[in-house]
Amino acid sequence: MMRGLRKKDELLEQNEVEKPWPQILAILIGSLAGITDGIHYSWTSPFIVKITEDKTNYNITEEQASYFPTIQPVAMILFCPIFSVLADKIGRKQTFLLITYPQILSWILSIVAKDATVFYLSRFCAGIANGCLFAVFPTYVGEISNPTVRGTWGNLIATSMYFGELIVNVVGSYCGVKETAFIFLPLPVLFLLLFSMMPESPYWFIMKGQEENAKKSLRFLTRKKDVDQDYFKLKLDVDRQLSESGTWSDLIRIDSNRRALVAGAFLRLTQQTSGMGIFLVYNQFIFEKSGGSLSREFCSIIYSALYVVLNIFVVTFIVNRFPRRILYFVSLTGAAIMLYLLATFFYVEERYKLNNSGFGWVPITGTIVYQIFMGCGLCVIPTLMMSELYSTSIKAKAMIVLMIAFAGGNIIINPLFYYLNTNFGFHTPFYFFAACNTAAIAVCYFIVPETRGKTLEEIQQILKNGISR
């Protein structure tokens, strides 16, 4: 009888069902760092105008403040390679925990800042944290989660940032620079305490030959007692990927790596050239310049809230139900149409002052519709796919290149917006972004692979055989 019971227990263990909630929990806690990063990223939206207008506490010109959004991506370029290397050396988890320190230092510097130089240092620290988030967190999410969890919850990386952008616009509408810093300072400390209890990536343990630690991580993430089958399947995938050469030249020389790199660079650069970053960083500036009866703070809150709601909706109901390439194509097309309409409105408004004739509602309505299309793909898919495209042997190097491309695009786009606006009129940058989206539409289907519902190994095979699958 005892033998029969043992046999039954063994069969039950073999048929254990994986529980996804520990994977979701790890992603949720990791997203706390994303919230702080989103707060830092959109900090300029409420505070560029406030700082330049406050001549009592700050003597900072609009031109000096225009560099605030540019410094952050410069720091990202410099430090992203360091974090990518550290992620392979000391682990994804331990590297990601380092994000806490530049986030805290950025808030401290903004508290004591009186001139532009100290604010520049604060923005630089925020950029260091930005580099850590994008270099490590997508990799961590991709390696700890199954395809279903990754497809539904993996985009919390982006959604958490958008939530941070919402709350900094809300808080920044009522609080000053110092008060806002004191409010958000505890958030990175909370992340440090909670994420310390999360597991390391089982992929990384396998890369380092730590079998027992890998199994322990899998038990935590799946809540299964017997993870031998999961472990050996994962080990075969990792060993096969590690058996491939992983030099810098292999990023271009090997077909699958080259296709993944081109796709990733396209996704990251089109995020920048779509105008998404400009709307996030300068939305209060845009609403102020466009006129209208609603306050810039109120419009900014509506816009940021829509960001969060749309991202949650898309992640929950859209991403796993429709092909990602199709969603990206629709997103680019809709965003381009709305940018053309907004640009035309601003052009006519500059000549005929339509905001004084009952048309002041057009900018906020146009940006909301623009955001609806952005939320279908441009906001969510690039970040989600960063964790999916690359083989283990080349992932760290690919992430370095893509983060440099992303940050480089940011460095160019922010001053370009300021230059086009001041020299050619407020409508000009909107025409520029619309034209960029139009060009991206033409090549989207041929560059972006379809990854919906695929394991990391299946995606590698698709890239090897050609993106059209």
Rounded Cα distance between 395 and 135, Å, is 10
18-198+244-465 placed in CATH 1.20.1250.20: yes
C-alpha dist (Å) from residue 377 to 302, 309, 342: 20, 14, 20
Rounded Cα distance between 225 and 289, Å, is 60
Full-model pTM:
0.74
What pLDDT is attached to residue 155? 66
Rounded Cα distance between 12 and 339, Å, is 57
Domain boundaries, the chain: 18-198+244-465
With a CB cutoff of 8 Å and minimum separation 6, the contacts of 352 are none
Per-residue pLDDT of the chain (469 residues; tens, 9 = 90+): 445 545 545 544 455 788 889 999 999 999 999 999 989 988 887 888 889 888 888 888 878 888 888 898 889 888 988 998 899 899 999 999 999 999 999 999 999 999 999 999 999 999 999 889 988 898 898 889 887 787 667 667 777 877 887 788 788 888 999 999 999 999 999 999 999 999 999 989 998 989 999 999 999 999 988 888 888 888 887 887 777 666 777 788 888 888 888 888 898 889 888 888 777 666 666 666 555 556 666 766 776 677 677 667 766 677 677 888 888 899 999 999 999 998 898 888 777 766 555 666 777 788 878 888 887 888 778 877 776 787 767 777 787 788 788 778 877 887 888 788 888 888 899 999 999 999 999 888 888 888 777 777 777 777 877 665 5
- Please state, as a whole number, how many other Cβ atoms lie within 10 Å of the Cβ of residue 323: 13
- Three-class SS of residue 321? coil
Q: Is 343 in contact with 431 (CB distance < 8 Å)?
A: yes
With a CB cutoff of 8 Å and minimum separation 6, the contacts of 84 are 135, 136, 396, 397, 399, 400, 403
- How many alpha carbons lie under 13 Å from residue 78 in its C-beta half-sphere? 12
**Residue that has been written with the tokens 């944290």 in this structure:** 129
Q: For Cα atoms 231, 235, 239, give the angle at the middle one, nearest 5 degrees.
A: 175
